[in-house]
Structure 1
Amino acid sequence: MPARFRASTSRRPVFRKSKMRHLNRVPLSALRAVEAIGRTGSLSAAADELGVTPGAVSQRLAKAEDRLGATLFTRQAAGLCPTEACARILPRLTLGMEHLAAALGQLAEEDGQSLTISVAPIFASRWLIWRLHRFHARVPSVSVRVEPRTEMTDFRSSEVDIGIRVGASPGRGIAATRLLEQRVFPVCSPALAGRIGRPEDLLSLPVIRETPSLFGWQVWLSAHGMTVPEHLSGPTYADASLCLDAAIAGHGVFMAWETLAADAVEAGQLCAPLPGRHATGQSYWLALSPRSDRKPAARAFRDWITDELDRSVRAWRGPSAP
């Protein structure tokens, strides 16, 4: 579940004018496809990163191979494997794409009016997207692009300005701001809430879980002097948002964290039948990319989201909440 950030390194190759003519042989879109396939190992992963279909990536690869007169990848059971010739050039292609991204990022930094934010999809859909209009009201000149991604943010090979993830720590060598400690509490539909009067009653109902490990249940139950039973009934979903929807639909009890479920409780879609919200040891972290650390828009967003989370916590836990 935890996702961290990768630190950035700085490398400065020297390009000679006489070599620039080779760039005319292959379209940049085809080179981007080759680099993405080589790094991710599949057409689908490359397509997801580039924001196009796998068919489009395949066509770009074919164009690159045609222009270069060489086969760049072979199909294997594990995916696409670079040929010997391709393996030799891939590190330099990646380096080149990093420098192109840095150049574009420098332009964005100079105008200071755009932000790309990488954030866990569940946090984006259940909390951030419903409040982003308040950032636009505070800083109307800044445009925000939200990239919902589950994988860790690699500031070296992306144009991301800000990464927001959940984990026990942001990762080694990363300067990050802790936004909010993650707390969990049981939720269910209003129809089921009447059947719950004490912690033991939770276990008499179907338990909705995100993974078989029952994340959060041991934290909450142990705070009430209980342990997780060996066998519990109830469905398992691979996505926490689906778990929340199942709880809203009345399919059982879900151990949710505040940024996921508190708005639904406030709206009356869910009930929190028992008191107590307990820390999991995980937190939300915000990291700025090294190139965006001095960007006024990035600092404005960091200040805004800190204030907005404070506002949410006071609404969820009361005015005296820390």
Structure 2
Amino acid sequence: MKNLNVIHLNGLRAVEATGRLGSLQAAADELGVTIGAVSQQIIKTEKQLGRTLFERSPRGLVASDFGERFLPRLKAGFELLDQAVGAARKRDEGILTISVAPVFAARWLVARLDRFAEQHPGIQLRIDATTTLANIETSDVDIGIRVGRGDWPGVHAELLLAQEVFPVCSPAMASQMREPADILRFPAVIDAHAMFSWDVWLREVGLSGHRMGERHVFNEASICLDAAIAGQGPMLAWQTLASDSLLAGRLIAPFRIRAKTGFGHYFVTAPDRRETATVRAFKQWVRTEIDDSMKRLEGL
């Protein structure tokens, strides 16, 4: 393979993409670079080969006589490389690696994993609990579940559940509340890393301009929930965070009014990766469990 030592592979990629796609713009889009960069790579490659690959014309680039013979062989070579890389990255479909936020894992997902194992005994789950959005394209993560607006770059985001927020508190504290304004009498437990504030819910119930007092501030929503359970103050929670504690009676939602935040829970996958049967099974299971949780929550 000594012939490859005198040619830059990036240049060959630019030549192959341009010849296959028919334009500099299309090649630039596929390679994630500028048109100028593609053009410069082609010029360098032509110099290294000592051959003209494309003729410049008013209609753009047209393959030269040599290019007509060279491009099919170059395309075949890159197809073999693509297949080799694909085989190397092929995952064991019996193992599913999931990236989720720690609070979602601890407060909703983990308690339900036995049911997934019963329904899909041939699938082993690996849970990567992290607040960092994994690089789905290059990591070993098969699927993520994240909260946001679904506009993360470089991923395919599929809405799972629109986020709604509402106050929760201990049963003893809830017994002292009759109408939304009553909550202003109680200093709140605050999640310092929340993507929303109490203003979202106060505005929904006609209390714009009012502020909640603060009792404790934590940097983790799960700890805030424990503080609310302990009677230390109301917390502004969302469905997956609080559902199990509400269903168990450890917490009460004193008012049925919820406010949308504009955020949601999303499945996050690589945009160009084939969706495996394992991923489909997990997504369907999560959707079924979410639907069941939300129906039970509505019944309270």
TM-score, normalization: structure 1? 0.63
The equivalent position to 1:184 in structure 2, one of 145, 151, 165, is: 165
SS at match of 1:209: strand
Equivalent in the alignment of 1:24: none
Report the CA distance shift for 1:318/1:293 in structure 2 as closer, same or farther (over 3 A).
farther
Give the conservation status (yes or no) of the 8 Å contact 2:162–2:262.
Answer: yes
Deviations, residues 188-212 of structure 1 (Å, cap 9, x unaligned): 1112111111111111111111028
Pick the aligned partner of 1:135 from 88, 93, 116: 116
Q: Return the alpha-carbon distance in structure 2 between the equivalents of residues 213 and 113 of structure 1.
A: 35
Q: Does residue 234 of the first structure (1) align with residue 215 of the second (2)?
A: yes
Q: Alpha-carbon deviation of 1:215?
A: 2.7
**Residue 254 of structure 1: aligned partner:** 235
Partner of 1:219 in structure 2? Answer: 200
For 1:306 and 1:293, locate their aligned partners in 2 and report how far apart those are by CA, in whole Å.
20
Instruction: State how far apart, in whole Å, the 2-side matches of 1:155 and 1:212 are.
Output: 24
Aligned equivalents of 2:86, 2:133: Cα separation in 1: 19
- What is the CA-CA distance between 1:292 and the residue it aligns to? 5.3
Q: Which one-letter code corresponds to 2:218 in the other structure?
A: Y
Residue 283 in 1 paired to residue 267 in 2? Answer: no
Cα 1:102–1:239 change in 2 (3 A) is: farther
Amino acid across the alignment from 1:288: T
Give the AA of the match of 1:303: Q
Structure 1 residues 188 and 231: CA distance shift in structure 2, 3 A: closer
Give the direction of change, closer, same or farther, for the CA distance of 1:104–1:126 in structure 2 (3 Å limit): farther
Return the offset for 1:304: 1.1
1:166 is aligned with what amino acid?
V
Q: Which residue of structure 2 lines up, in the alignment, with residue 311 of structure 1?
A: 292
- Residue 213 to residue 302, structure 1, CA distance change in 2 (3 Å): closer
- 1:156 has 2:140 as partner: no
Q: Distance in 2 between matches of 1:171 and 1:182?
A: 17
Partner deviation per Cα, 1:116-167 (whole Å, 9 max, x = no partner)? 0000110010001111222112211000000101011212331000011000
Q: 2:174 maps to which residue?
A: 193
Query: Given residue 248 of structure 1, which amino acid in structure 2 is its aligned partner?
Result: I
- Structure 2 equivalent of residue 106 of structure 1: 90
Task: Map 1:19-168 onto structure 2 (within 5 A).
Answer: 105-108=89-92, 112-168=93-149
| Change in CA separation of 1:200 and 1:183 when aligned onto 2, cut-off 3 Å | same
| Structure number, greater radius of gyration | 2
Partner letter of residue 289 of structure 1? A
Q: Secondary structure at the match of 2:246?
A: helix
How many aligned residue pairs are there? 219
Aligned with residue 263 of structure 1, among 223, 235, 244: 244
Mapped contact 1:162–1:287 kept (Cα < 8 A): yes
- Against the structure 1 CA distance between its residues 144 and 222, is the aligned structure 2 distance closer, same or farther, given a 3 Å change threshold? same
Deviation track 1:28-81 (CA, whole Å, cap 9, x = no partner) reads: xxxxxxxxxxxxxxxxxxxxxxxxxxxxxxxxxxxxxxxxxxxxxxxxxxxxxx
RMSD (CA atoms): 2.5
Unmatched runs of 5 consecutive residues or more in structure 2: 1-8, 11-83
Distance change (3 Å), C-alpha of 1:243 and 1:103: farther
Instruction: Check if 1:244 corresponds to 2:228.
Output: no
- Identity of counterpart residues, as a percentage? 40
CA distance in structure 2 between the partners assigned to 1:134 and 1:303 by the alignment: 13
Instruction: Measure how far apart 1:288 and its partner are.
Output: 2.3
The answer on whether the counterparts of 2:101 and 2:146 sit within 8 Å (CA) in structure 1 is yes
Q: Post-superposition shift, 1:318? A: 3.7
1:206 equivalent to 2:190? Answer no
CA contact (8 A) 1:217 1:228 kept: no
Cα distance change of structure 1 residues 150 and 192 upon mapping to structure 2, 3 Å threshold: same
Match of 2:18 in 1: none
